[in-house]
Structure 1
Amino acid sequence: MNMANDLPQELRLVVQRLSRRVRFERTDDEITDGQRSVLFHLFGDGAQTLGQLSERDRVSPPSMNRTVNALVALELVTRVASETDGRKVSIDLTPAGRSLVQETRRKRDAWFSARLAKLTPTQRAVLAEAAPILRELADS
């Protein structure tokens, strides 16, 4: 493998295939990947403003507003007015939204665990070392 030329392409292809495969491990087909992303952000980071969610997912505020409106209609998130600033509204998970995220995570973790169990200890160690690097790439 020519590291300079082949590694970016190989990583891109592998990450795309793995991402596509993991998306099949979900509990609800009614919501889009963008909506699911918002639910997972709220689950991990707590209530956020529309602007924070837009920035996190790198989408425009109007686009995020449509996503949040759809999630409100599905009763997966709620808008909560700030007690100190009436102009400020946070988006937070409802119990149904939290449950959906937890069940999706459980299914995905089970899928990964089953595949990781088939690897050698050395292969699992390599993945454990690579995980923080991949996270850094994803967060950049």
Structure 2
Amino acid sequence: MPNSPETLALADSLRAPLLRAARRLRQEAQRAGSSALDALILGYIRRRPGVGVSELAQAEQVSRPSMSGHVKRLEAAGWIQRFDDQEDGRRSGLQITPAGEAQLDAVRQRRNDWLADRLARLTPEARAALAAAGPPLLQLLEQDQ
């Protein structure tokens, strides 16, 4: 089904602002001392304690060897730890450590502070328009799952 000219125009007008906002939020994660991928991995482990490397790799759409390297780095930083699976002794799960929780909270706080500062500069009408855009933007992402 071809896209209408209106849909294509909307996609064109939204692409740059969405990319620039995402880039700035990634930069705020780096300023907090971690990469955006670190924050994604830590957040996933926080939501799903016991997750394995394979599931993490699939969720973030990276190769298992690449994810294994990220996991080892996060372990070395003290942000996550492995534990033996009680049901399958051959498998180890991952859980976030208190230091990882603190790092993830620092990233979230840094990003929220940056975004809140910019939102405060907008008119109430512009903030309302952005608030209304949140649910449809999430719907765009959910279509891939």
For this structure pair, what is the TM-score category when the shorter chain's length is used for normalisation?
0.7 to 0.9
Structure 1 range deviating more: 126-135 or 41-50: 41-50
* 8 Å Cα contact 1:43-1:101 kept in structure 2: no
Q: 1:51 aligns with which of 38, 43, 54?
A: 54
- Superposition CA RMSD, Å: 1.8
SS in 1 for 2:70: helix
When residues 47 and 120 of structure 1 are mapped into structure 2, their CA distance, relative to the original with a 3 A threshold, is: farther
Taking the aligned partners of 1:10 and 1:119, their CA distance within structure 2 comes to: 19
Corresponding residue pairs, total: 137
Which consecutive segments of 4 or more residues in structure 1 shift more than 6 A?
Answer: none
> Following TM superposition, by how much is the alpha carbon of 1:24 offset from its aligned partner in structure 2, in angstroms?
2.1
Structure 1's unaligned 5+ residue stretches are none
> Percent identity of the aligned residues?
31
When residues 121 and 56 of structure 1 are mapped into structure 2, their CA distance, relative to the original with a 3 A threshold, is: same
Q: 1:16 aligns with which of 2, 19, 26?
A: 19
* 8 Å Cα contact 1:76-1:97 kept in structure 2: yes
> Following TM superposition, by how much is the alpha carbon of 1:110 offset from its aligned partner in structure 2, in angstroms?
1.2
Q: Which residue does 1:70 correspond to in 2?
A: 73
Q: 1:135 aligns with which of 110, 114, 138?
A: 138
* 8 Å Cα contact 2:53-2:68 kept in structure 1: yes
When residues 117 and 100 of structure 1 are mapped into structure 2, their CA distance, relative to the original with a 3 A threshold, is: same
Q: Which residue does 2:85 correspond to in 1?
A: 82
Q: Which residue does 2:37 correspond to in 1?
A: 34
TM-score in terms of structure 2 length: 0.83
Q: Which residue does 1:7 correspond to in 2?
A: 10
Q: Which residue does 2:121 correspond to in 1?
A: 118
TM-score in terms of structure 1 length: 0.86
